[in-house]
């Protein structure tokens, strides 16, 4: 049997000449190119509308649909990621018999996200959320001839359906209580709700959000979704799992009024720590990326729990760029990498001093340009995360032997100044576009819960970096078991195909 090439992993026929001679082949290739052109045109159109609207952002609603700066932002983001994955799929899925189906599912997913953020009436709003899950489950199982893919798609669809039911419950409860059936109306009248309804609704909305973001214990659907082709995985990790950030930002008033921010903070924080550990145990590159996504989604949920919904939206956008790139370049990483023993961390006193100085300087710059951490509130926790990130980046630079001592002094400064500066620019831009939404930036008073978890987070970080978890056998086994996909999506059909 002729070996299939890495650039064409889903090609069904072994003879490429036979494929080209199939009826409709040319039309399929032409259709895929038209799809890609259409999505890029959509992105350019959204970008043009955003640019001409920056000085006078739209803000209108007719009771069915609404359009504002936040709508424009999400339209621009999702159309860009869809266009990029579509272009990548032109070559990657070349010859795959499900290429056309992939394109239609991608278009359906893009349209459902765009419908979600412009829906004011709760019926199209809930319908679009349901459709997002339907289209994404279709992408997970787009290779319908693969039994594991069908199992993964079915499992994901059941999880997504449960999330849609919970979201519907969380929205319909206050809607019927207030006799108000628009999203903007519900947001404005949240204070009129009895506490038990506000709390129940918030818990349902939060659960729907963490289901879609694959937050523990609902993470297995994402680990099982590796049956999707790489372009679909990129779209999933760059767009679909980020949808929870959109929902939480829209219903921030409900979450704040119900005093459920600490629930978000604890769930998101624990997920971020656990997933970072499980990522280290993976040997499959896509599984590593999946665990990384779960960790990043945990951090995004944690930001919402701290009252920074605008920062969570910034995070989902930046994570989308980062994770789409990692998935689309995963093949190159496998090609040019070889197995190696884990590095033993040994930090010299001079390096420790440099890491400490740059960490403090980076955190101060972050606080200065964003305003977070300048007072005793929840922003201090985010500033701590920045300090850890800058410190880790600094250590990765100063340990390089190919760099001179002079280079080790100025390169970290350039990197964290540029990185924090770009983040501040995006953060301020997103905050401006979300200005019409209530309570998207509500720092909380510093609490013992935040302080306690900050200590746990630091302890977990150093355990992870120093590899101490490898010496605790029960912890290693627990983490390994927690990072396994749905059992029926792994090698259940292998013997039948031999």
214 CB-near residues (< 8 Å, 6+ apart): 221, 222, 223, 241, 290, 293, 294, 297
Joined tokens for residue 341: 């023993």
Where does 54-98 have alpha helices with state H?
Answer: 69-92
First to last CA, the chain: 13
C-alpha distances (whole Å) from 472 to each of 196, 453, 469 are 43, 21, 5
Q: Report the pLDDT value the prediction gives residue 147, as an integer from 0 to 100.
A: 81
Q: Which of 154, 192, 186 is nearest to 171 (CA)?
A: 186
**Domain regions of the chain by residue span:** 35-336, 349-480
pLDDT tens digits in sequence order for the chain, 498 residues long: 333 433 344 444 444 444 444 544 455 667 788 888 999 999 999 999 989 988 888 888 888 999 888 999 999 999 999 999 999 888 888 777 788 888 899 999 999 999 999 999 999 999 999 999 999 999 998 887 888 888 888 999 999 999 999 999 999 999 999 999 999 999 988 889 999 999 999 999 999 999 998 888 888 888 888 888 888 888 888 877 878 889 999 999 999 989 898 889 889 888 888 887 788 777 777 788 888 888 888 888 988 888 888 888 988 888 888 888 888 876 655 554 555 555 555 666 676 777 778 778 878 888 887 777 777 777 787 787 777 777 777 777 777 777 777 777 778 778 878 888 888 888 888 888 888 888 788 887 777 877 887 787 777 777 766 666 677 777 778 878 877 887 777 766 655 544
CA atoms within a 13 Å half-sphere pointing along the CA-CB vector of 465? 16
- Residues 297 and 110: their CA atoms lie apart, in Å, by 20
In three-state secondary structure terms, 63 is coil
In degrees, rounded to 5, the angle at the alpha carbon of residue 43 between the alpha carbons of residues 420 and 167 is: 80
Q: Which of 137, 188, 129, 190 is nearest to 163 (CA)?
A: 129
Q: What is the Cα–Cα distance from 125 to 112, expressed in whole angstroms?
A: 9
Distance between CA atoms of residues 272 and 210, nearest Å: 12
From the centroid of its chain, how far is CA 231? 15
Nearest to 68 by CA among 174, 184, 170: 184
Identify the pLDDT of residue 491. Answer: 62
Helix (H, G, I), strand (E, B) or coil at 119: strand
């Amino acid at each position: 049997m002729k070996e299939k090439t890495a650039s064409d992993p889903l090609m069904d026929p072994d003879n490429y000449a036979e494929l080209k001679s199939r009826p409709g082949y040319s039309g399929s290739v032409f259709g895929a190119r038209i799809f890609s052109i259409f999505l890029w045109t959509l992105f350019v159109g959204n970008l043009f509308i955003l640019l001409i609207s920056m000085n006078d952002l739209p803000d209108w609603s007719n009771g069915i649909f609404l359009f504002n700066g936040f709508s424009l932002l999400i339209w621009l983001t999702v159309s860009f990621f869809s266009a990029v994955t579509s272009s990548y799929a032109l070559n990657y899925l070349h010859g795959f018999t499900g290429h056309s189906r992939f394109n239609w599912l991608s278009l359906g997913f893009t349209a459902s996200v765009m419908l979600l953020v412009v829906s004011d009436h709760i019926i199209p709003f809930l319908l679009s959320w349901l459709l997002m899950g339907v289209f994404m489950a279709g992408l997970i199982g787009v290779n319908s001839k693969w039994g594991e893919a069908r199992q993964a798609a079915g499992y994901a669809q059941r999880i997504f359906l449960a999330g849609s039911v919970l979201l519907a419950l969380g929205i319909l409860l206050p809607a019927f209580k207030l006799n108000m059936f628009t999203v903007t109306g519900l947001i404005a009248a949240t204070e009129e709700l009895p506490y038990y309804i506000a709390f129940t609704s918030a818990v349902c909305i939060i659960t729907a959000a963490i289901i879609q973001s694959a937050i523990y214990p609902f993470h297995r659907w994402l680990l099982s979704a590796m049956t999707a082709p790489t372009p679909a995985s990129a779209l999933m990790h760059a767009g679909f799992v980020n949808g929870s950030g959109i929902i939480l930002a829209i219903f921030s008033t409900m979450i704040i009024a119900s005093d459920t921010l600490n629930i978000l903070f604890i769930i998101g924080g624990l997920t971020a720590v656990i997933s970072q550990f499980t990522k280290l145990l993976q040997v499959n590159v896509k599984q590593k990326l999946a665990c990384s996504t779960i960790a990043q989604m945990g951090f995004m949920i944690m930001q919402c729990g701290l009252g920074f919904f605008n920062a969570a939206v910034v995070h989902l956008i930046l994570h989308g760029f980062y994770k789409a790139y990692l998935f689309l370049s995963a093949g190159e990483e496998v090609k040019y990498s070889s197995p190696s023993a884990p590095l033993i961390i040994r930090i010299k006193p001079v390096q420790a001093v440099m890491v400490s100085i740059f960490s403090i300087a980076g955190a101060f710059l972050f606080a200065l340009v964003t305003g977070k951490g300048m007072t005793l509130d929840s922003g201090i926790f985010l500033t701590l995360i920045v300090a850890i990130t800058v410190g880790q980046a600094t250590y990765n630079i100063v340990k390089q032997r190919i760099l001179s001592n002079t280079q080790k002094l100025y390169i970290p400064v350039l990197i964290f100044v540029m990185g924090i500066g770009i983040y501040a620019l995006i953060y301020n831009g997103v905050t401006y576009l979300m200005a019409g939404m209530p309570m998207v930036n509500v720092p909380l008073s510093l609490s013992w819960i935040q302080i306690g978890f900050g200590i746990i987070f630091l302890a977990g970080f150093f355990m992870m970096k120093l590899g101490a978890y490898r010496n605790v056998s029960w912890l290693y086994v627990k983490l390994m078991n927690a990072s396994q996909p749905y059992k029926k999506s792994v090698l259940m059909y292998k013997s039948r195909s031999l």
